[in-house]
Structure 1
Amino acid sequence: MIRRSFLALGAAALATPALVTSAQAQAISLDAVSGYLNRLRTAQGGFTQINGDGTLSTGQIFIKRPGRIRFEYNPPDNSLMVAGGGQVAIFDPRSNTGPDQYPLNQTPLKIILEENVNLGRARMVTGHTSDGTSTTITAQDPDNPQYGNIKMVFTNNPVELRQWIVTDDTGTQTTVILNDLVPGAAIGEIKFNIVAEMNRWNN
């Protein structure tokens, strides 16, 4: 998604429903996850990205809710993704045509960048499981499921967002693994100003 361009049930499984119930019971509630995301107003840290073609990228991520996120990719990539002002722009140093741009509300990332995250909305969450140490929640825009979905992984204690897998409208999956994410970071608005970034890249 960042490029625009993550056991079948048989008789044995059906015979042990308590195992499934136990795993579900340990999952962080949707209200608790919504509250965590709503309290996460700013954050920055490192990330490792697994692209749809299996290649890896690394860099720094900056989050400023609502509606703003920035990915700065390390060499040899050196690209940039900025979301701000309701738009997403992808800057590629190999391109001579300017950044690709599209509306933020047409990407699954908008779900975690909304002013008020409410995962309890009807038809938003399509998966909610736990392995005992982490909770995985798959969510989509209930009004526009064709835009794809985001699968988020949270640690249970304390509740922290650790990674997500975005499946975009073409079916391409991109995994972002967060590391050393620092909440409450002071982040200037200029980092999410697409016009200012275009001017910088053109000079």
Structure 2
Amino acid sequence: MLLPFAAAIAIAAPAVAQNGDLAQVQRHLSAVSSMTAAFSQIDRNGKVLTGTLTLKKPGKIRFQYEKGVPILIVGDGKALTFIDYSVKQVQRWPIGNTPLSVLINPDKDIGRFAKVVPSADPRVLSVEGYDAKHPEYGRITLVFAREASAPGGLMLQGWVMLDSQGNRTTIRLSDQRFNAPVDDGTFRWNDPRRNSTHS
């Protein structure tokens, strides 16, 4: 269900005509130092999980799932960690090798690896990341709403990830709040293998 989080994204340069929208996405990403939001995650089978997303640049993100779901995803600035407490399993990937790096790396130039996806609704701006040389990495599409009061004039609505087998995972955000202080302790987690705390 969460394998697309481990996919690397390295995308060919977009067409020149898309530079304006991509520049706006870049401005939004640069203007956001932190974000909290409620999220709902819909997997390929239509199963829905909910929780709270917390993001802090550089490199930190946490998906805290609803009570009763024994899963945690944390980016601590260096690695993205997937913890399944039900089986005491921990998996880690370099943050730079995950599609989420575009959200939490303030130095990332989105114009080098993404393209704008045409939309029939002018209020919506979608940006897709895909590496044609590595289809096994899958695709990620970030979805923004044009909103003047939001950072850079865009409000991140969520994203869709499609793995190489065609399995789709959708993240939808609500109650987005930007640039409030976030304690680094938010990105610590308990290691079920050793019952210790990591930062």
TM-score with structure 2 length normalisation? Answer: 0.77
RMSD: 2.8
Letter in 2 for 1:110: S
* TM superposition shift of 1:128: 2.6
Letter in 1 for 2:93: Y
Q: Secondary structure at the match of 1:35?
A: helix
Deviates more, 1:72-81 or 1:37-46: 72-81
Of 138, 145, 153 in structure 2, the residue corresponding to residue 155 of structure 1 is 145
Separation in 2, partners of 1:51, 1:111: 21
Q: How many residues align?
A: 178
Separation in 2, partners of 1:182, 1:201: 34
Letter in 1 for 2:190: E
User: What is the match of residue 62 of structure 2?
Assistant: 70
Contact 1:126–1:139 under 8 Å retained in 2? yes
Tell me if 1:38 matches 2:30: yes
Deviates more, 1:53-62 or 1:170-179: 170-179
Letter in 2 for 1:137: V
User: What is the match of residue 9 of structure 2?
Assistant: none
Report which of the two structures shows the higher radius of gyration computed on alpha carbons.
1
Tell me if 1:104 matches 2:95: yes
Letter in 2 for 1:4: L
Tell me: CA distance 1:127–1:35, structure 2 relative to 1, closer, same or farther (3 Å): closer
Pairwise mapping of residues 1-203 of structure 1 onto structure 2 (< 5 A)? 3-4=2-3, 29-96=21-88, 98-121=89-112, 124-130=113-119, 131-140=121-130, 146-158=136-148, 159-168=154-163, 171-193=166-188, 196-198=189-191, 202=195
Contact 1:68–1:84 under 8 Å retained in 2? yes
Contact 1:162–1:177 under 8 Å retained in 2? yes
Separation in 1, partners of 2:178, 2:156: 11
Deviates more, 1:124-133 or 1:176-185: 124-133
Contact 2:116–2:125 under 8 Å retained in 1? no
Gaps in structure 1 of 5+ consecutive residues: 6-23
Structure with the higher fraction of residues in strand conformation: 2
Separation in 2, partners of 1:64, 1:179: 17
Separation in 2, partners of 1:38, 1:46: 21
Gaps in structure 2 of 5+ consecutive residues: 5-16, 149-153
Displaced runs of 4+ in structure 1, greater than 3 A?
140-146, 168-172
